[in-house]
Amino acid sequence: MSLRINDTIPDLTVETDQGTFSLHEFVGDSWAILFSHPKDFTPVCTTEFGAVAQLADEWTKRGTKVIGVSVDGVEEHKKWKGDIEKVAGATAAFPIIADGGLEVSKAFDMLPAEAYMPDGRTPADSATVRSVFIIGPDKKLKLSMTYPMTVGRNFAEVLRALDGLQMSIGNGVATPANWNIGDDVIIPATVSNEDAKTKFGEFTEVLPYLRLTKAPR
């Protein structure tokens, strides 16, 4: 069964190019992003991991750790990082899981439908799809995205989604479409106008159920 939003992620022990540890240990008290790729030394994946490397300062600002995963081995990951850094012009300092046994890929439901049959299929036949999982400090899944192998991810959108989660969780607000840091946020419909004014101050009522206010700081 695949993970659902607000499920606690499995505390798997993983082998990476930076050592062996458990996923819960890796997350610790931080936010974390786990992202899969089909194969090392492939064009789309190299550009994607390069984009993640270029955003290193942005992840740090948001108290967020990033970790990759594929069915390739540790030595392949180490060698591939040279290509990632050449393309990105940035250091790929994040770990990459070597998921040769498909334990992580199956636990997070990262494999395409055909990869689950027949039973004799090997990791070489089971490239993961392009998945992103944003995990909260409570070790629970907050957001997931899945792309096919042929479409590279937009990590600026992943960053925006992370910002939205960090804004909404703990502040009692929601974020509208295309929201970015600095934009107004939505007051939940379950909050009365009186309580909204007490908690948020002034707000704009666009519709009875759509009220906008300045984002909490």
Sheet holding 204-207, edge to edge: 185-187, 210-213, 204-207
R_g of the chain computed on alpha carbons: 19
Angle (nearest 5°) at CA 139 between 85 and 130: 40
Annotated active-site residue in 32, 34, 45, 129: 45
How far apart CA 4 and CA 132 sit, in angstroms, is 13
How far apart CA 95 and CA 151 sit, in angstroms, is 23
How far apart CA 95 and CA 102 sit, in angstroms, is 17
Query: CA 192: distance to chain centroid?
Result: 33
Cis geometry, peptide bond prior to residue 118 (ω within 30 degrees of 0): yes
Annotated catalytic, 120?
A: no
The neighbouring-strand residues paired with 34 are: 67, 133
Element counts in the chain: helices (H) and strands (E): 7, 10
How far apart CA 158 and CA 142 sit, in angstroms, is 12
Angle (nearest 5°) at CA 153 between 51 and 215: 85
User: Which of the residues are catalytic?
Assistant: 45
